[in-house]
Structure formats: C-alpha cells, structure tokens
Structure 1
C-alpha cells in the first residue's frame, strides 16, 4: 500500500519533539540488549515493536554510527507501524571494541559484521518479527547488508541502500590502494610512537557544521554531535589499514556478486556525496537485477539526517517501498 500520509518529523519542531516525545518513547518503548559475538566481542542492539505491527525493518548503520544516532528514524518507523531492529556493529557505537585504542576503526574481515548480523536476526529479530522483514542500510551498512543478503537471501522482503559504500573516496586504483595499505602497516609496526591509524586519520574530533560534508541540516547535525558529546563511549575516530583492507575486499565481493542480489532493491545516490564513490556505486547497483537507482539532487552523504527538502521525499519513498505488495 502506498500513501501520502506517513508520519514524518520536521526540522522546525525537531528540538521540541526530541524532548517531548522521542526521549520518553526511547525510555519506555525501546528495548536494549546485547549478545556476545565471535571473538568474545559484545554486540549491543535495540528494538521496538508497536501494537498491530504488520512489517519489520532491520537497520544496518554506517561507519562510526551508533543506534543512539537513529532515534528520529526509529521513532518515525515505529509511528508508521513498523517493528524496528538495529544493532551497533562491532568496534563502534555501544558495542565492544577490538583495539587498545578504542577510537580506532578496525575489523579483521567484514564477515565478522555479517556474522553478528545473522546472529542478531536468528536470536532477536526472528522471534519478535512482525510480518515481512525489510532491510534499511546506510553507507558502510550497505556493504554489510549486501553481504548479508548474499549469505542469507531468504531473509529479506525488500532492501534499501542509502548512499551505499560500494566504493569509497578518493577512488584509487586497486594496486595503489594495496600499496598504501601495505606501507601503512609496515610504518605502524616499525616506527616507534606510530598512531596505528591509516595515514591522515586520528581520534574522534567533531567538525563544525559549516565545514561538515555530511548534511545541510544544522539541527540534525547538532543533535548528532550532541549525542556523541553526551555519550563519549560511542565516539570513534578514523580507520586503520586493516579496516581499509577489509572494506576493499568486501566492496569487491559485493560488486562481483551483485547479480545474485535478487530481492527488490531501492538505492539512493546523494549527488554531493564526498564520502563514497558514486560512479562505482552506480555500476554495482546496475548489476542487481531488481534494483531502482534514485539520484537525489543537492543531497550530501547523510540522507537520513539531511534537510527536510531532501529527506522527506526519501523517507516517503522508503515507507512506500517497504509497504508495497510484491
């Protein structure tokens, strides 16, 4: 069923809405928990199920993100009758970290993210699922989501990819990327006092709104940064060479296997994205047999926390897509 009557929040009222409605909703309706993933890493999650829910949505978030950043999106999904499930990927958010410096973005292989996702689905989502399960992915979460679909194609009814990380910027030749990762690994092992980060990366450091490449919505950006200021345990800095190597392998696998993703897909491309490689993204989506690729003019990377003029049409398309009959 398609409708123009979806509930959506807006920038003008968002500050009041957060205090008046979303904060009590979060404390009263959202259940949080955790499980232990491979390697003895704690994985935190949240879920909420409205009365008479007919469909479910699993959110796969992007790099550095936490489920706490998704309060507005989760509230909207809940108000529109969707059961909502979200986990913090290992190494970020409220989940356990894998490096001595907890600020460093690290994973051995993206298969670890996928393993956590599948365990979450089997142990938490399926027992509470209402109707068909849809997958909503953002950025890095799209690579994780695509790999999960490839591993468990029977799980999902429909999939949305927002600014999918099927390529990253700057878009370097594969050989040059491998050289830089190898050199960085040697540098971090051999140079006393080396940070452990990939070249140019550092601990979490908030960027002023005027300099941010993520969103044109000042209020949503402020709320995002305030959440990370009030909960320093969810802060995450830059990436390590190992994360880049794992991401490169994951993106290559998604591109090579795109034709095997046969569920209906709706993918959004942010025109002004400075984080992911839109050219490679378009190539990957074109390889998916039942995918619609939507170009969002004027949008920056964070479509789910963008300004209303960009975000509202995207959210309506998502709600319509997840509610449509196959």
Structure 2
C-alpha cells in the first residue's frame, strides 16, 4: 500500500497549490486507498527462471450492489503503465455512475507492480517478452477467472477500455472473446509503432527482427528509446504523452512511492513482437473485424500524436463497420491525462458513448486482406530480409577473406619458402634468397 503522505517535490511551485494536484492528494488517493481491493494470480506463461510471474490487479467494486445488474469495465493498460496511474479516471468514472459500476484493472507482466518475464536482475527493469500474445493470454485469464463478468447471469453491460499498447493487446482479447463486451473504447491504440528518430517503420521492423532473432539481443534497449529513468517524467515540451504538468506530477507521486513501476525504454524483443503482431491493412484479418463488429467501438485518436501511428487507426476504423473514429483536438498521446479542457471533453465523450443505447455503424470502405494475399506479402518481406542479410554476410565474408590473405598469408605469418616460391613462380618475379 502506498504511503500517501510520502510525496516527492513538485515539478513546478504552482503545481502543489493547483486544483488538479490538490484534488488528487486530498480526494483521489484517500478514496482509492479506502475502496479498492487488491489481488494477484499467476501469469499464464513462464518467465526466464521457469516460473510464472505474479500478476497484480485492483478491483473497485460497485457501491453496495456488486454484481447486481450494474455495468462492469475492464481496463487494458498501455506501455509502462500501472493501475496506480489510473486512480483519477477510476474516481471520476465511479462518481459518474454514482458508485454503481465495477472497475477491474491488472498490471501487465513485466511492468507496473506485477512480476517480470525477464527474471534476472539485469533485465528486470526492461519491458521484454518472448511473444506479444502473452499479454492477451493473461488478460483473458483475468477476465474469465478473476472478474467473473461472464459468469454473472444478472450482470449489467460489459465495457472494455484499451489505451495505447493495450489497444493492440485488446485486438487479441476481443478476437479470443468475441461478443463478450458490448462497448469498447480504444484510446490512441498502438496498432503500429511510429518510426523512431525519423527511421521509417519498415526499416525499423526489419532491424528489430534481425537484432532480436538473428543476433539474440532481444533484451537490449533500442537506441534512442532511453534507459531506465528515475521516478520523474520529463516536463513538457520534452514530454510526448501530455502537456499537463500537474497530472504528470500526480503520476510521479505513484512512481516515487512505488519504484518498481519505473520501467526503462523499449527493448528490441518487445519492438519485434509488437511489429509481428501489429494491426494494419496488411495484417488485420476478417476474424478480427468480425469480432469487433459484435461490439460498439469508439476510437479516440489524438491530434498531436507522435508515439503510435494515427494512419493505422483511421484504416482500422474504415475496416470495422461499428467503429466510430473521433479526433481529440490539441491532445498529445494521453488524452485522459491532458489539461482539463482536453481531458474533460474526452471523458465526457466517452461517457456519452458508454451510455448511448443505439449502436453506431458506417459503410465499410476498407476490406481486410485475404489469407492468400497476406501470405504472399509475408513471403515477400521475409524473402527481402533474408536476401539483404545474405548480401551483408557475403560482403562481410569477402572482407574477412581478403583481410586474412593480405595480412596473414602475404604478411609472412604463414610465409614459408615453399609458399613464397609458388607465388613468385606464378607471378614470374624473382625472389631474393634470405
């Protein structure tokens, strides 16, 4: 349990006296500490030590009416997040429903306060995984076995909220549990990662595959993605997630009190896995589209997005006939952690979506690729990567052979009289006796 009185210094002198920070410290944290229930379960996959890491979760129960025909919402978190970060959202959601809602949220393995797949201390602060689908396996187990929302015959509507990396995890969850959730909110979903430092995504994808699979360096950090920081998030304008210093400081409180949640930059293994299981026009399947069209979907895309690819969100919305695409003006990657005017508008837009009865639908303008087309494209890209690798290895091999011949043989290390004589005879030159 956090020590609410143990607060770090603020980023800005105005923050401590500001309404956002004051509300968070005086109202949100005490409320969460008093109502939230904690629990844990074993991951469905093994860590590098051969044991399943322990997944931590929280449950904010409905006020006196748990399981009595009230809505239930499951949060699927983004990269390096924790349910500790979402206390303000839980607080406001609970108030909007006057306490009559069940809120469930788990920390993904290898982030937050959950256990790590990379069990060795050297890599425990890195977001590494062997298979991106492992996130979804844990999430589905959590939904089926812990929340019990599918087993309660008298339960109300079921909602799913997915942010950033959670959006890609959510595509696997929805495909594995089609029709379970009546409404799905996708907040800046990471269907594909944007290129880093100007490097195109296609190049980044090929490099990640080589570094992770061929070189076996999947647990190493991607250059430019930063090593493990301290508890303090970068200040705007150096922050690509939010322009609200006050809300960043609220998250810093949790990072300061729970050092384990501070995870470093992405690894080559994580990047490769997120690329393999991405959701774009080349990879989205009819199975995914059909599963999402069993639900009503709201996709919130941020106008000033720089972390995930906005184009992939538009393409997803074009392919899913029940998906409504909404642009959040003026927002960076995390609209629910932005300045009040942006955050409040986004929150109200979500509430309008959750409470409306009619289902949204539009004409589909983009069809998912057929299995044959997908196989041809996958074969092409795989062949191209293999060809490039073969050329590079060939060049390296030629260089090494030339170096050995010039430096070793001609340099005299193996230069015995017989070898020199043969070379001299072939070239027709005279060789002095030594």
What is the aligned partner in structure 1 of residue 397 from structure 2?
A: none
Structure 2's unaligned 5+ residue stretches are 1-16, 47-51, 359-434
Aligned with residue 293 of structure 1, among 321, 325, 335: 325
The question of 1:80 aligning with 2:96 is answered yes
1:127-138 to 2 correspondences below 5 Å: 130-138=155-163
What is the aligned partner in structure 1 of residue 181 from structure 2?
A: 156
1:93-242 to 2 correspondences below 5 Å: 93-99=112-118, 100=120, 101-126=123-148, 130-170=155-195, 175-185=202-212, 189=216, 196-205=220-229, 206-242=233-269
Q: Deviations over 1:204-243 (max 9, x none)?
A: 2242333111111110011112321221111101111111
The question of 1:264 aligning with 2:296 is answered yes
Superposed CA RMSD in Å reads 2.3
CA spacing shift, 1:108–1:187, aligned 2, 3 Å: closer
What is the aligned partner in structure 2 of residue 44 from structure 1?
A: 56
Measured after TM superposition, the shift of residue 188 of structure 1 is: 6.3
The question of 1:19 aligning with 2:19 is answered no
Q: C-alpha separation between the residues in 2 aligned to 1:244 and 1:87?
A: 22
CA spacing shift, 1:123–1:304, aligned 2, 3 Å: same
CA spacing shift, 1:265–1:186, aligned 2, 3 Å: closer
Q: C-alpha separation between the residues in 2 aligned to 1:41 and 1:323?
A: 37
The TM-score, its normalising length taken from structure 2, stands at: 0.68
What is the aligned partner in structure 1 of residue 74 from structure 2?
A: 58
Q: Deviations over 1:23-57 (max 9, x none)?
A: 22112100011100121121110011122472111
1:273-288 to 2 correspondences below 5 Å: 273-288=305-320
Larger Rg: 2
Q: C-alpha separation between the residues in 2 aligned to 1:196 and 1:321?
A: 41
CA spacing shift, 1:74–1:280, aligned 2, 3 Å: same
Q: C-alpha separation between the residues in 2 aligned to 1:182 and 1:320?
A: 42
Contact 1:188 1:195 in 2 (8 A): no
Q: C-alpha separation between the residues in 1 aligned to 2:321 and 2:164?
A: 21
Q: C-alpha separation between the residues in 1 aligned to 2:213 and 2:259?
A: 31
What is the aligned partner in structure 1 of residue 344 from structure 2?
A: 312
Q: C-alpha separation between the residues in 1 aligned to 2:297 and 2:130?
A: 28
Contact 1:140 1:164 in 2 (8 A): yes
Measured after TM superposition, the shift of residue 323 of structure 1 is: 1.7
CA spacing shift, 1:175–1:299, aligned 2, 3 Å: closer
The number of residues matched between the two structures is 313
The question of 1:31 aligning with 2:37 is answered yes
Q: C-alpha separation between the residues in 2 aligned to 1:189 and 1:318?
A: 43
Q: Deviations over 1:108-144 (max 9, x none)?
A: 2222111111111112212597411101111001111
Q: C-alpha separation between the residues in 2 aligned to 1:125 and 1:185?
A: 35
Measured after TM superposition, the shift of residue 80 of structure 1 is: 2.0
Structure 1's unaligned 5+ residue stretches are 1-10
Measured after TM superposition, the shift of residue 313 of structure 1 is: 1.3
Q: Deviations over 1:290-322 (max 9, x none)?
A: 010001111100111011111111101111211
Contact 1:184 1:199 in 2 (8 A): no
CA spacing shift, 1:195–1:141, aligned 2, 3 Å: closer
